[in-house]
Amino acid sequence: MNSSFDKPVESESDKKRKLWRKLFLINLCISFILIAAFWLPSKLVQLQGFLNSPSVDIPGEGKLAKKEKKKPEFPPVQLANLLITKVATVNASSEKEYAYFDFSSGEPVKIHDPSSLEWDLAFRRSKVISNGGASSMLGKGGLIDLGPIGFDTVTEVPRENYVVDISTRTDTENPALLKPYNYNYFTHKLKAKKNVYAARTADNKFAKFQFLNFYCDNKEVGCVTIRFVYQDNGTNSFLKPGVNLSTASVNIAPGAESTTSF
């Protein structure tokens, strides 16, 4: 018996449907190939460049945000037995010039000579340096990355082993603070990491700080907002005088002080 009689005969409409289905799949595959050929290599190049860079300096004109004071976006929660936490914003949206910050005053400062001891941190968009090492021969500044820990759990910081600034082939940087943010490759937005940093100031005192935001009012990168605690008596403890370390994380105090500067 001829087995061909057992096979159903395809109609013309069935043949056309199969043909269109094949053509659709072929076009879909070609579209994916074209997308991969033109879009994926550029993204891989961007990713490689980002990973190889010591820090990200987002392109764009360094237009300053309006210099208007406002209430801090991140009001600090103050523990009764810890020194006062302050919040400050530094407008560092210039691509060429650093904006200098002084822990003792809690405000940005105008500096004509970088060897001055009147500043502790300097910001240029998303880049941060300290007043020590390659940035200043006189400054004692340095940084330590304490990791993503609770800000108020840091009741004291180390006295030694601070990382000072170094010179690279293209710039000056602090190895302890290269990327204090996470970068979203799809939205091209920066989000501050939860890390807390210990700082030794230019005059050999101590502070702790944490990044909160990197954006100005006009949505441009460069207005760096931090919260910080500064110890002005030269010790490395952020407890109020007479407070025992074992009671350092209780009792919320009302009316915490904060500052915001542009």
How many whole angstroms separate alpha carbon 214 and alpha carbon 223? 5
Show the low-confidence residues of the chain (pLDDT under 70): 1-10, 36, 39-79, 243-262
Element (H, E) at 222: strand 221-231
Asked if 170 and 199 touch (Cβ cutoff 8 Å), the reply is no
Q: Where are the domains of the chain?
A: 11-52, 78-253
pLDDT in tens, 47-88: 555 545 444 444 444 444 454 455 555 555 566 789 999 999
End-to-end CA distance of the chain: 94
How high is the pLDDT of residue 148?
Answer: 96
Global confidence as pTM: 0.68
Asked if 44 and 114 touch (Cβ cutoff 8 Å), the reply is no
pLDDT in tens, 13-59: 777 778 888 888 888 888 778 776 776 666 666 655 554 544 444 44
